[in-house]
A = this chain, B = another copy of it.
Amino acid sequence: MDSSELKRAGLKATLPRLKILEFLETSKVRHMSAEDVYKALLESGEEVGLATVYRVLTQFEAAGLVVRHHFEGGQSVFELEQGKHHDHILCVRCGRVDEFVDETIEERQKKIAKEKGYAMTDHSLYIYGVCGDCQKNG
């Protein structure tokens, strides 16, 4: 276990934080709810409290290690920060999540904010639809 990332983020290297970070880094699934992380850790025999998972993910977000999304469905979804901003397209049938970047959209958003007199701080764009697999099998 590598505690340097946590140290760098100004967080003490506690076991729960290390476990959660390691899990996020090694999981094949990129986008996960707090509950997902909690259950996965339990199943792999780790002892962590759900409250701690929520707390740690929120701290990771504040430290810029993780990004939080508000997909439809009520739960917050987290993913490891990758340095590069991107948006999401989600399957309403199977929950699949794909990522994309579109510079034209990014530029247009800035333009709209300026026109409306806003100092833009952030934006969120979700496209919903039925993925290729679900179109075939559905």
Contacts and interface: CB of A to CB of B under 8 A. Distances in A.
Contacts of A123: 125-128
Contacts of A105: 104-105, 108-109
Taking the full assembly, how many copies of this chain does it contain?
Answer: 2
A131 B112 contact: no
Interface string A87-130: 00101100000101010110011001100111111111111111
B118 A130 contact: yes
A76 to B, nearest CB: 10
A60 B130 CA distance: 25
Interface of A: 70, 72, 89, 91-92, 98, 100, 102, 104-105, 108-109, 112-113, 116-132, 135
